[in-house]
Structure 1
Amino acid sequence: MSAVSTKLPVADTRAVRRYAGTLARQHPRLLWSAVALHVLAALTGLAAPRLLGDLVQAVQGGTTVGHVDRIMLVLAGFLVAQTVLTRYARYVSQVLGEQVLAELREDFVGNTLALPVGVVESAGSGDLLTRTSRDVDQLGWSVRMALPEWTIAVITAIVTFVAAISVGWWVALPCLLGVPPLVIGLRWYLRRAKDGYLRESASYSAINATLTETVEGARTVEALGIGDERVRAIDADIEESFAAERYTLYLRTVFFPNMEIAYLIPTVATLLFGGWLHLHGHASLGDVTAATLYVQMLIDPVDRIVSILDELQMGAASLARLLGVAQVPDDRAVSGETPRGEQIEADDVRFSYVDGRDVLHGVDLAVGVGERIAMVGPSGAGKSTLGRLLAGIHPPRTGAVTVGGVGLTELPLDDLRGHVALVTQEHHVFVGTLRENLALAAPSGASDDDIRGALAAVDALDWVDALPGGLDEVVGSGGRALTAAQSQQIALARLVLADPHTLVLDEATSLIDPRAARHLERSLAAVLHGRTVIAIAHRLFSAHDADRVAVCEDGRITELGTHDELVAAGGSYAALWDSWNGKH
């Protein structure tokens, strides 16, 4: 049901870190403001243990109610200051996160739109859909919430540890006892987590791909009676996804209990060791109290560091998948040469979608400037593939396809579309007004008169004017639904507005009623006068009107000539023509 699939690449850890560093360097003011505010908030939070330790020491030696009240007021002041600083620190972090996420999304959209068409087709829709939906959502949560919270936790942990050490050097010893289980657990987890979450994301891509393929091919599935086979395929994908999620759950169930033990050890050790020091006169009761509270305070930020690290691992896996889109090698090698004219030529062209299985075999074709060529032949003969090469969509495996002596895939896309454009039987109507859908085809903009002229050229002006909103009618998903024929007319009108010199029409009027298509093609011919047209058609009246007809069979051009010449030759085209006209 599908072609051989090629997975999109995933960026490695070094590329992820390099990209994160680049984003951080682009926002130094916000970044350092957030860090400074978090440090100040953490410092104000450290006053409580020290003040409470002093209060315990004062109570032991005798104190007054007024002294206690003063300490409570100071403590309340620090708590208010911490609340205000934390609020603004989180606000700045959120602003930074939103800006970084916006830039990352823009980069991802740009990289996605720059993907070679062949790569998108071979990778399938499931992988790309998962990256544009689940991975973007996961990364959005990580950037908005997980990363700021993790940053706060790291700063708080560092400042709290320094404060604990300031009580006395001996506090470091209980803290160090929790390091071995923490380090061992982290190393064990981090070695396995990234691959586990990448496998999990890949399993979601597989489910999306199978579901999308099954839904899009529902009629074929029903016609061939392979519903049970498709259900088994989806079940297999779900089973793999279950196994992937179970593995990451196993990692968490081993990792987090180990961390809980690592948290408890320093607190217990501080109480025991501090108590022993106090009994021997090496530490005051206030110092032991403050140290214990500081070590207790360490548990929360360290726990958040470890807990959020799990979310950051998922975010890093999603970022690696998003950045991987940019690592797809470009199928264009821009030479910088300028075409010398608009002559389109294919010279000994061979092409394959799968290594070792050519679908075009040494095709030669020279298309004169302003000439109209019709390519006909049975399904699977290679017509559409040759059309895509002539439009510069794919580079040939061997041979050359040139315009004005320059390879089509050696031209920047913007320059290429000024020379040749492809319109297929597949089309898309974007969400927006009809005006917006049409104006996007004109790089320098299009006036309403230009748009109406293009619609008139493709016989679409009458039904557009009949819409309640006219050109302002909202179409696409959630808007007015257009028929298949109307959608094709919009695609053809875009072609008129794009104004390329050479047009490759791949059965571009196949969904329009034959009589309407005949009338449309005649109208379109007047607009396209003087342009080169390569029409891939299954209706032979298109071939009858062409200057020359190219007959494709088994990946080769077997006949080439005018309609009358090929009919007189009595070959494959003559047989097709007789069959089309009901002759046997």
Structure 2
Amino acid sequence: MTAVSEPSNWQTYKRLLSYAKPFWLAFSLAVIGNMIYAGASTAMAAAMEVVIAAIENPSDRNRIFLTALIIGVFAMRGLGTFLGQYFIQYVGRQIIHALRTQVFDQLLVLPSRFYDDHSSGHLVSKMTFNVEQVADATTNAVTILLREGLTIVGLLSFMFYTNWKLTLIFIGLAPLIGLVVSFASKRFRKISLRIQNSMGDITHVASEAISGYRVVRIFGGERYEQDRFYDVSQRNLKQSLKMASTKAISVPIVQLLVAVSIAALVWLMLAPEIRNGMTTGELVAFITAASTMAKPVRQVTSIHDQIQKGVAAAYDVFQTVDEVPEPDGGDHAPGRVEGQIALNHVCFRYRDQLDDVLHDINVTIPAGQSVALVGRSGSGKSTLVSLLPRFYEYTGGEITLDDVPIRDYTLRALRDQIALVTQNVVLFNDTIAANIAYGTLSQNDPDAIRNAAAKAHALEFIDRMPEGMDTLIGDNGVMLSGGQRQRLAIARALLKDAPILILDEATSALDTESERHIQEALNVVMEGRTTLVIAHRLSTIEKADRILVMDGGRIVESGRHSELLEAGGVYTQLHQTGFGEPA
């Protein structure tokens, strides 16, 4: 297989700058502003000849002219500064907005395996720290590059016009400056990549400690988390200091080389063959231009750390943008399916694993039938139900829904047929009503939302809330108990009214009394729907139309509760070892 070469710094930066195309007018105004600034800076150096002449020949006319010249030059410089800085900042922030939303939109369509390979902390860091690094490369760096670069061009042009021999001598050290800048640039990018990785580690460790603060405190993990955070922060500090030391060394070297060039000019000016009849005013203007160039040269060479940080950040961001979304090549999009599911010789293995996790699964589930999946932890139950909404792509066999392969459905059409309640309830920092009527369910009227909550036996606590359905429940429902959070998730599934229902330990967080009410509601909602139930509680399992017993990624037994007990097989062993509570 041919290895894909990594894009060069210039290719990455060129791609980044392509995001500025929609804002070409603002970018053009920024360029014009920087041209005005550069012209004013060149005019300040050139004006020294006029100043010397006016000093040597004082008159009222010269006094007025010099006063107007000073005000005019600084007014031009102020106008150029405003246009250059504001409009390049405008372009830069627009690029950041575009990149950030593009990364977020991409994250919403990437396959589950991507999330298996990346921690949430690192992904959040991409959209915060890394994208801000891109901001520096597209705003500050571009501003300095345009403003100071054009200033250098203007000053050099004036110096060539005044005395080309001296100018050639002055720029003789340019190759040495280029070598210093090139070495620093390579080191800047290498260190920038390490800093971004360490920032991802910092975000990851901090988010874990914050979200799991109860476990941290009850098990005395404060010292462990402190040490963990200190280590990742120390790595970030070490790389940041390397970045600072490289910049601190390279900038003075460039300044020294420029100073050597200026000193050489001053020494050579005394040679008549070089001076070539220049007046005192021309000499002063020339040396002023050369001295003025020291600042823009220093700033242009010092922005390489910002550009390399931005290039490294953009490279990382573009890696996410270029990730292949989950496959969605189907075109079948029925309004509502009957709900017959068939798995024919289905196999599945996780990426980069040699052995299958699911082996030759064959089962047909008629529409409206409820099927319970039981088995020891790791037997493949959750993996099996994850294949139906195509969170993972099966690697062998075929899964059909109403005799149509699920890969022929559009993802949206397929997932519209499925309601899901898992053991790990996901709620959002929003109102109770918004959490029940989430996503495409937001079109439901308040009566339908309330009816779903009533069926899930959630109104008994919702009506006691300060603002009822409009109560904010905090991050992931932190204001609610485990059972209350579970009931909201069930209400969400009830509101969706999908023909297929997946319950993955849906009643695990409920006490016995709450579970009895929820089970009654689930019995109602399961009528006429194809239901896949993963549960350990016997009360949830025994009423299923069929029970599939899984072991080692295979279906080893199938039947009703009483039939499987009489068979005396794996199900009987699970029952005897207490996988559920007594009926």
The two structures, once aligned, show a CA RMSD in angstroms of: 3.2
Change (3 A) 1:44 1:221: closer
CA contact (8 A) 2:268 2:274 kept: no
Change (3 A) 1:298 1:401: farther
Question: Of 44, 49, 71, which residue of structure 1 is paired with 2:45?
Answer: 49
CA contact (8 A) 2:38 2:148 kept: no
What letter matches 1:164 in structure 2?
M
What letter matches 2:53 in structure 1?
Q
Q: Which stretch shifts more, 306-315 or 329-338?
A: 329-338
The match for 1:418 is 416
Calculate percent identity across the aligned residue pairs.
25
1:458 aligns with 2:456: yes
The match for 2:30 is 34
Counterpart-to-counterpart distance in 2, 1:111 and 1:58:
65
The match for 1:536 is 534
Change (3 A) 1:220 1:367: farther
Change (3 A) 1:552 1:469: same
Counterpart-to-counterpart distance in 1, 2:507 and 2:581:
22
Q: CA deviation at 1:549?
A: 0.7
The match for 1:5 is none
Counterpart-to-counterpart distance in 2, 1:582 and 1:205:
44
The match for 2:110 is 115
Counterpart-to-counterpart distance in 2, 1:89 and 1:385:
56
CA contact (8 A) 2:432 2:473 kept: yes
Q: CA deviation at 1:337?
A: 4.2
Q: CA deviation at 1:552?
A: 1.3
The match for 1:16 is 12
Q: Which stretch shifts more, 564-573 or 250-259?
A: 250-259
Counterpart-to-counterpart distance in 1, 2:40 and 2:322:
46
Counterpart-to-counterpart distance in 1, 2:61 and 2:575:
109
Change (3 A) 1:217 1:362: farther
Q: Which stretch shifts more, 169-178 or 545-554?
A: 169-178
Question: Of 535, 557, 568, which residue of structure 1 is paired with 2:566?
Answer: 568
User: 1:155-234 to 2 correspondence within 5 Å?
Assistant: 155-210=150-205, 212=207
The match for 1:371 is 369
Change (3 A) 1:549 1:473: same
SS in 2 for 1:557: strand
The match for 1:297 is 292
Question: Of 256, 264, 288, which residue of structure 1 is paired with 2:259?
Answer: 264
The match for 1:472 is 470
The match for 2:307 is 312
Q: CA deviation at 1:429?
A: 2.2
1:361 aligns with 2:359: yes
Counterpart-to-counterpart distance in 2, 1:118 and 1:223:
32
Change (3 A) 1:337 1:527: closer
Q: CA deviation at 1:14?
A: 6.2
CA contact (8 A) 1:374 1:536 kept: yes
Question: Of 344, 347, 352, which residue of structure 2 is paired with 1:347?
Answer: 344
Counterpart-to-counterpart distance in 1, 2:530 and 2:282:
89
What letter matches 1:351 in structure 2?
F
Q: CA deviation at 1:73?
A: 2.3
What letter matches 1:390 in structure 2?
L
CA contact (8 A) 1:332 1:411 kept: no
SS in 1 for 2:548: strand
What letter matches 1:22 in structure 2?
S
SS in 1 for 2:439: coil
CA contact (8 A) 1:473 1:480 kept: no
The match for 1:482 is 480
The match for 1:3 is none
Counterpart-to-counterpart distance in 1, 2:82 and 2:155:
19
Change (3 A) 1:66 1:230: closer
Q: Which stretch shifts more, 330-339 or 216-225?
A: 216-225
User: How big is each residue's C-alpha offset from its partner over 1:44-78, in whole Å with a ceiling of 9 and x where there is no partner?
Assistant: 33222222222213434x33354134213222122
What letter matches 2:177 in structure 1?
L
SS in 2 for 1:551: strand
CA contact (8 A) 1:181 1:258 kept: no
Counterpart-to-counterpart distance in 2, 1:139 and 1:25:
16
Q: CA deviation at 1:511?
A: 1.1
Q: CA deviation at 1:222?
A: 9.5
User: How big is each residue's C-alpha offset from its partner over 1:506-557, in whole Å with a ceiling of 9 and x where there is no partner?
Assistant: 1122112232123113213323432211111111211112111111112111
Which runs of 5 or more residues in structure 2 are unaligned?
A: none
Change (3 A) 1:88 1:248: closer
CA contact (8 A) 1:174 1:265 kept: no
1:283 aligns with 2:281: no
The match for 1:4 is none
Q: CA deviation at 1:343?
A: 2.6
Number of equivalenced pairs: 574
CA contact (8 A) 1:186 1:255 kept: yes
Change (3 A) 1:516 1:119: same
User: How big is each residue's C-alpha offset from its partner over 1:115-165, in whole Å with a ceiling of 9 and x where there is no partner?
Assistant: 212211232233213223322333345445444344333333333333333
CA contact (8 A) 2:100 2:127 kept: no
Change (3 A) 1:75 1:406: farther
Change (3 A) 1:461 1:139: farther
Q: Which stretch shifts more, 508-517 or 269-278?
A: 269-278
Change (3 A) 1:512 1:244: same
The match for 1:402 is 400
1:323 aligns with 2:318: yes
CA contact (8 A) 1:433 1:475 kept: yes
Q: Which stretch shifts more, 160-169 or 255-264?
A: 160-169
Q: CA deviation at 1:388?
A: 1.1
The match for 2:58 is 63
TM-score (norm 2): 0.88
User: 1:121-160 to 2 correspondence within 5 Å?
Assistant: 121-160=116-155
Q: CA deviation at 1:102?
A: 1.3
